[in-house]
Structure 1
């Protein structure tokens, strides 16, 4: 019979990844603690290691989920923006800012150097899906692969900057507008794209 007060999960790996996404967004990869995650999920500190070989494998699973959710958010924003390529790319940029604002996780975590040594195929595939979406949208605006990649770099930096400054309270302290961060990032992206 299970001990009283112990929480038992039907799918502990999914619960760890879901709660881990929130924790990772709060503390970043360097501050991520498996013990803290286990405490939040209500399991022993040894339980996560039964499903993930080590801390980095767990982080890779969390980053994979973040990348998949980010790719879906980018696709939905681009689709909802209509047929204009510049508007689609600007909307995806705003969606990126919104995702980072909401989750505290972006390409900085998906492509963190600490996880590259794992050669995790799922994480690599999920990261490529994000980049394929962004580069595909940029190629609709800038046909040169080098120009498209440069534009993606600039737009990701813009969106991530907006999200980070907003999360840190810099943009919310004395707002000059009531617009949310994704809207402001979209507008800035339009200016950068030249839409």
Structure 2
């Protein structure tokens, strides 16, 4: 087998994106590089550049995939939560915890500052769809305006990302907390954020 492990032209691009999630989950955004992803796949250091001009272009593709996959996870969690609008929005927090713990690709990756200069319409379409879905859930949960919905989404994601960070840092390890229990706690905390209307 060649140094590129026999990947065909169309397969390596997808493999690089998939391996990027593993790299992010293991090393975080700060240690993310094209070379690290190539090593993970055991391909030559030049191979990724057939598909991506540089680190930011690879990260942009990962961002778009992450936004799409997170949106799908949020929608599935909301549907599983039933018809209660507050519960449907809160379920997004649990979905976020599970997704980011598994992939390392939270909002800090999906909306990484270095990506704003990359002209990637596919990524922008996926990130817009993700935010629109979250805003719709916030509006259905009782947000009275676009600005209020945006603040509610921001707070929901902040709570969820906080649980992700604490879990990753081992904060819950002494209590033997599982990922599912942390996702449930994030969901409960996010539910408390939803305004009650008289």
Give TM-score, length-normalised by structure 1: 0.91
Q: How many residues align structurally?
A: 193
Distance in 2 between residues matched to 1:148 and 1:45, nearest whole Å: 44
Deviation at 1:175, TM superposition (A): 5.2
Worse-superposed segment, 136-145 or 26-35: 26-35
Distance 1:178 1:113, change over 3 A: closer
Cα gap change, 1:177/1:55 in structure 2, threshold over 3 Å: closer, same or farther? closer
Q: CA RMSD in A?
A: 1.9
Structure 2 Cα separation of the partners of residues 163 and 72 of structure 1: 19
Residue 153 (structure 2) aligns with: 152
Preserved contact between residue 98 and residue 179 of structure 2 (Cα < 8 Å): no
- 2:132 is the alignment partner of 1:132: yes
* Equivalent residue for 1:7, pick from 1, 5, 12: 5
Give the structure 1 partner of residue 99 of structure 2.
99
Contact 2:4 2:47 in 1 (8 A): no
Tell me how far apart the structure 1 counterparts of residues 4 and 120 of structure 2 sit (CA, whole Å). Answer: 32
Please name the residue that 1:28 is paired with.
Answer: 28
Residue aligning to 1:42: 42
Q: TM-score, normalised by structure 2?
A: 0.90
Deviation string, structure 1 residues 66-86 (Cα, Å, up to 9, x no partner): 111101000100111111101
Which ranges of structure 2 fall in alignment gaps of 5 or more residues? none
**Residue aligned with 1:193, SS:** coil
Q: In structure 2, what is the Cα distance between the partners aligned to 1:176 and 1:117?
A: 40
Any unmatched runs of 5+ in structure 1? none
Q: CA separation in 2, counterparts of 1:178 and 1:159?
A: 12
> Which segment drifts farther, 90-99 or 149-158?
90-99
